[in-house]
Structure 1
Amino acid sequence: MGFERDSNLMPLNKSHHFVPQFLLRFFSVDGSSVGLYNLRSGRIVTGASLKHQACRDWFYGRDGKSEHALGQIEGGASSVLRRMIATGRPPKRYSADHRVLATFLLIQSARTAQAAVAANEMANKVGKLMLRNTLTDPELLAALDDLTIELTEPAAEALRPAALETPVILDLKIKLLHNVSSTPFVLGDHPAVKHNGLYSGAEISVLGLANLGLQFVMPISPDYAVVFYDEKTYSLGSPASNVVKLPSASIVTALNEFQWANALDNIYFRPSDDPPRWTPDRDRLAELRRNEQVSVCEDEVQLEGTRRAKVISVQAQRPSRALKMPLFRNRMSPPPLVNVGTLPLRDPDWALHVHRMTAALNAGLIPPEEFHVRTMPPQFLLRILRERASANAAKTG
């Protein structure tokens, strides 16, 4: 992530949390423990130590760079989330807190053990498909079924691209869901969940960050969840308010199902709550959860004239058809999905611009500071200019 560690600093911490402790602490009563439901065994623990949750040894590598960078991101995000919970309000749109929250949301969606499982599954399937197209030795081809291809550090490798993609989602509207029902929000170990209700049931993945209809949902406490969504596609609550109150336990349960469906190992909850009352039964859990994370297929496509070519299509699996996103109302009919290469985008020109700037940054053609400025949406620049003008006016009296 571009940070160097001073050799004189304290020793590296080998236990790396992929859900930060500050977020888990918002679901705690005593600040040191949290309720836990294990998805494999069904076991419930009401006092699991925060220190040992959602973590793995050296998950982001042994050099400490990614862990250090995450610490800096988490510091800013922790302050933003605390303010949201204390005030019951989301950040102002196009503010510095808006950008901090968007970055944290993307990082959190890319850094978990579940995300690492999906990345390794993609590497394994794509690698084997490519080897089957290149190997000619029958013995080697036969051995592919017993071979597993994995990335060395999938979580660490995903962090930098996720951070650089923040500008793509800065157009999404933010609202805070205030849960006043009898059912609490729960937190999965993959808490930042993407969805696309516009294309519910689509046979191809429509969860790209620039896709029309994108939704992001993440609980931040038993009483609050933050949502980012495409306001051209959906309406949510009152246009006059950025807070949506949820008095309905059934709506909260439907939102919680996104946590149950996307978690890898554990669901976390406030220990004083009553898990048997709102835990899905085993049949519902089986309906929500999928074993396959990634689909990889090879197709033959028609090029100019009589030319044909093979194309490898890699897609994150669409969510379970059992999942339904409540609250959102569609403001448009979904444009047709022609093929993977022409998925409808919210702003194709902006997505292409960010892609080009990212390529220039990765090639060393522009410095990070220039990338940051050139990928700042106009609304953010206008806010900065207004604030500077106001500060200058105050100085001059």
Structure 2
Amino acid sequence: MILRQIKREDIVVPQKKKQHYIPKTLLKRFSINKKCFIYNLKSNEVIDNAVSYEDQCYANYMYGSDLKIENELAEIESDFSAILDFVIINNSLPVEEERIKKLSRYIILQWLRTESAVDRFQTIAKDTMCSFLPSVLSYYKIDQENFDVEQYVGECITTTFPRQQVAVHNVECSLSSDLNISDLKLCILKNATDINLVLSDDLVIVGNDFQPEYGLGANCPGVYFYMPISPDLLLLLYDSKMYKIKKCELSINEIEYLNYLQLAKARKILIGKNKESLSNLKKTYDSFIFNDVFKFFQHMGWKDPILINRAIPRFIAAYAKIYGYPRVNLPLKINPIITMDNAFTPYKDNPQRLFFRGDLNEYLWKKEYWGNDFSKLVYDTYLSK
């Protein structure tokens, strides 16, 4: 048997198999010599040595092996990279309206193209099915005691909404002409501290101080999006009819707030240009959750504080991400960077006051039960011009 020596050109590498959901042009801004530091949330540890940024935030054929979406994204990222270079070099936004539009649209694309965005879609679909399935079973007189709703719904979601299909759908939605964000204003916020901004694998932070629970759609009034683009710069896309910017330079408290939002949103990792910024964030995280976990052990019957203190680090390492979201005592709903128009304050956090910006038809049929004051406010603010 004769073995032929395999040459390099004989090896066929799958084309564009490694598809990044955070583009390399953005990841490299948080690296030095093509390497970055990682805060692993599952282990609650910051790695000691920097690693290649090219090996972060990707999935094999995330947008399909036909490369249709991947190639389309490559063109968009090329434009985005050129605009990003300008912004970072000049420390300011471009003046051309078309480039502002592309930058704004990219923020929405980035918000919807990640693994976490797929998770959110599947979770909403799962919760919806779980909520109405018992009624369906009851209607058809199916024995619910022997019917595993969670397992059935989980298998149904996996089959009906596979991750790759959802990822493609999300990208297509973000690029759709039906999504109009031209009325949102883009501004750049500058880090005036020695603390670096960090990046998570779900980097776009969406919020809404007017409707914090139900107003997180791109067409909702009061919505805003934060996206860090370097350790020193952050883009803010916001509803300027609802909010005013307090200032464009970020203080230490504001940087810490924004970094903690990245931690709260992260799926698996945070990325930093240096180890110090991630280590400081880990200390903040640990200090917030320590008291809650201590009380949990006491509730479970543990009496000796020394034993509890020894057990807490192991517990946090095992269940780190579970304790990473707004359960901790940080006012995530309080936005220190922008302020809401006082005229809307009496109507905030009320889903009956939710509407789509600029939708005259919706306004016409909702104004009857809104009342004169709120109807006039909405019309004068969003529709009169």
TM-score by length of 1: 0.70
CA deviation after TM superposition for structure 1 residue 319, in Å: 12
Asked which structure has the greater CA Rg, the reply is 2
Equivalent residues of 2:264, 2:324 under 8 A apart = no
1:257 to 231, 254, 260: 260
Structure 1 match to 2:143 = 138
Equivalent residues of 1:35, 1:268 under 8 A apart = yes
Counterpart CA distance in 1 for 2:329 and 2:184 is: 24
Counterpart CA distance in 1 for 2:171 and 2:277 is: 35
Structure 2 residues not aligned, in runs of 5+: 1-12, 293-319, 364-384
Structure 2 match to 1:349 = 360
Counterpart CA distance in 2 for 1:343 and 1:231 is: 17
CA deviation after TM superposition for structure 1 residue 97, in Å: 0.8
Larger relative helix fraction: 2
Code of the residue aligned with 2:221 in structure 1: it is: L
Structure 2 match to 1:224 = 233
Structure 2 match to 1:245 = 249
Counterpart CA distance in 1 for 2:92 and 2:69 is: 31
TM-score by length of 2: 0.72
Equivalent residues of 2:179, 2:219 under 8 A apart = no
Code of the residue aligned with 1:328 in structure 2: it is: I
Code of the residue aligned with 1:325 in structure 2: it is: N
Counterpart CA distance in 1 for 2:170 and 2:128 is: 17
Structure 2 match to 1:41 = 43
CA deviation after TM superposition for structure 1 residue 261, in Å: 1.0
CA deviation after TM superposition for structure 1 residue 168, in Å: 2.1
- Note closer, same or farther for the CA distance 1:128–1:275 as it changes in structure 2 (3 Å cut): closer
Is it true that 1:21 corresponds to 2:2 in the alignment?
Answer: no
CA deviation after TM superposition for structure 1 residue 322, in Å: 3.0
Structure 2 match to 1:182 = 194
Counterpart CA distance in 2 for 1:179 and 1:251 is: 9
5 Å matches for 1:1-397?
11-30=14-33, 32-45=34-47, 46-92=49-95, 95-135=97-137, 136=140, 137-138=142-143, 142-147=147-152, 148=154, 149-150=157-158, 151-152=161-162, 153=164, 154-164=166-176, 167-199=179-211, 202=212, 204-237=213-246, 244-246=248-250, 248-271=251-274, 273-279=276-282, 280-282=284-286, 284=288, 322-323=331-332, 324-332=334-342, 333-334=344-345, 336=347, 340=351, 343-349=354-360
Equivalent residues of 1:33, 1:48 under 8 A apart = yes
Counterpart CA distance in 2 for 1:273 and 1:129 is: 45
Structure 1 match to 2:306 = none
Cα deviation digits, residues 103-138 of structure 1 (max 9, x gap): 211111111111111111122222333443333322
Counterpart CA distance in 2 for 1:106 and 1:319 is: 28
Q: How many residues are paired up?
A: 311
Code of the residue aligned with 1:115 in structure 2: it is: A
Code of the residue aligned with 1:181 in structure 2: it is: T
Counterpart CA distance in 1 for 2:194 and 2:84 is: 23
- Note closer, same or farther for the CA distance 1:281–1:290 as it changes in structure 2 (3 Å cut): closer
CA deviation after TM superposition for structure 1 residue 330, in Å: 2.1
Counterpart CA distance in 1 for 2:178 and 2:329 is: 26
- Note closer, same or farther for the CA distance 1:337–1:254 as it changes in structure 2 (3 Å cut): closer
Code of the residue aligned with 1:214 in structure 2: it is: V
SS in 1 for 2:206: strand
Code of the residue aligned with 1:143 in structure 2: it is: D
Percent identical pairs in the alignment equals: 24
SS in 2 for 1:220: strand
Cα deviation digits, residues 246-300 of structure 1 (max 9, x gap): 2x2111111112211111001111036443234322253699977899xxxxxxx
- Note closer, same or farther for the CA distance 1:139–1:272 as it changes in structure 2 (3 Å cut): closer
Equivalent residues of 1:15, 1:56 under 8 A apart = yes
Code of the residue aligned with 2:87 in structure 1: it is: M
Counterpart CA distance in 1 for 2:281 and 2:129 is: 41
SS in 2 for 1:78: helix
Structure 1 residues not aligned, in runs of 5+: 1-9, 239-243, 294-316, 353-378, 380-397
Equivalent residues of 1:337, 1:344 under 8 A apart = no
- Note closer, same or farther for the CA distance 1:66–1:38 as it changes in structure 2 (3 Å cut): same
**Relative to structure 2, which stretch is displaced further, 267-276 or 60-69?**
267-276
Structure 2 match to 1:389 = none
SS in 2 for 1:208: coil
CA deviation after TM superposition for structure 1 residue 85, in Å: 0.4
- Note closer, same or farther for the CA distance 1:284–1:87 as it changes in structure 2 (3 Å cut): same
